[in-house]
Structure 1
């Protein structure tokens, strides 16, 4: 990762805080936890939503160890260019996460085994959240896993409660990790499994 990625992250946050969602990149402790449920064997298809400057991407690639396929969906073209520069072989799509089905079809990819997300869910309207989650559920394998992050500062607020309700409507199980204090701000990783087909 290039040394200016942290500065670039702050610049993108200041330009569009609602889209970026955090003032600092995801810490290694949270990034590792987000990537942990990716299958350790086989050739899994993994989708990363909102990779930003690649802090989590690096841990996903470590977890894959050259196996499978990682599709990184980033709506910010500056972050997408940075990702492609830092990871030249990475499959990067400058697109909306809600267009997942089309992105997979265009690439001839099948069902998704794991989705890792650092999207700023609490800044989205409820319908946008549910549209993205529906796209995930319809594209994931029955035993697929989804991980995402929220912050201790947001967890008890109404916007996150709406996100959590949407997650529970989309997946059969949704479980939070313990608080991860080695992050700015401290964070929780939510792990969701068994996507519902009709949401």
Structure 2
């Protein structure tokens, strides 16, 4: 499934294999296990991270997954009935969610995006995130030196007051580092 999606839109699909369960668990560690948290997921692909959200999310929680690839969106609707799957663009997140989001989890290939796309999506994430919310994403370690990856890291600092380079999941293929962002900076550059 990933190979076909990557062949159809290589600028939108950053991997030919899905994220591993260890990376998915690390990305979703910030999802609250109590209360009624609202989680938005960007770029769920085949659903590895979506299933990790589901393992943590309490019964009153809500999970919206935004997927730009139609085939992935259809697959997710069939396999994850408790997840609200939206076939759409992450940059349109402001129009997709109807209230502040507690956690945004991203599987998007940030280093492949140009600056305008990175800013557009990060601006949407910042705008929908609750003041005490968290944004979590990952970066492949081998891509850290790419200009798109370096620019993305700088943009995180523009959009969030706290950016934590978390642990590296070495057993993921390829190894990936988790980034955790808190305290969105309102009124920053989109």
Provide the TM-score with structure 1 as the length reference: 0.91
| Selected match of 2:51 from 33, 49, 58 | 58
Report the Cα offset of residue 101 of structure 1: 1.1
Determine which structure has the larger strand proportion and give its number: 2
SS at match of 1:127: helix
Between the aligned partners of 1:28 and 1:65, the Cα distance in structure 2 is 19
Match in the other structure for 1:91: 84
Instruction: Check whether the contact 2:36–2:58 (CA below 8 A) recurs between aligned residues.
Output: no
Match in the other structure for 2:124: 135
Any gaps of 5 or more consecutive residues in structure 1? 1-7
1:150-176 CA distances to partner (integer Å, 9 max, x unpaired)? 101111222111000111100001111
| Selected match of 1:11 from 4, 13, 26 | 4
Report the Cα offset of residue 10 of structure 1: 2.1
SS at match of 2:123: helix
1:23-42 maps to which residues of 2 (within 5 A)? Answer: 23-42=16-35
SS at match of 2:178: strand
Q: Give the count of matched residue pairs.
A: 188
| Selected match of 1:179 from 161, 168, 177 | 168
Provide the TM-score with structure 2 as the length reference: 0.95
Match in the other structure for 1:158: 147
SS at match of 2:171: coil
| Selected match of 1:69 from 51, 62, 71 | 62
Q: Which runs of 4+ in 1 moved over 6 A?
A: none
SS at match of 1:116: strand
SS at match of 1:18: coil
Any gaps of 5 or more consecutive residues in structure 2? none
Measured on the aligned residues, the alpha-carbon RMSD in Å equals 1.0
Report the Cα offset of residue 17 of structure 1: 2.2
1:76-126 CA distances to partner (integer Å, 9 max, x unpaired)? 00000000000123211111111111111xxxx310000000101111110
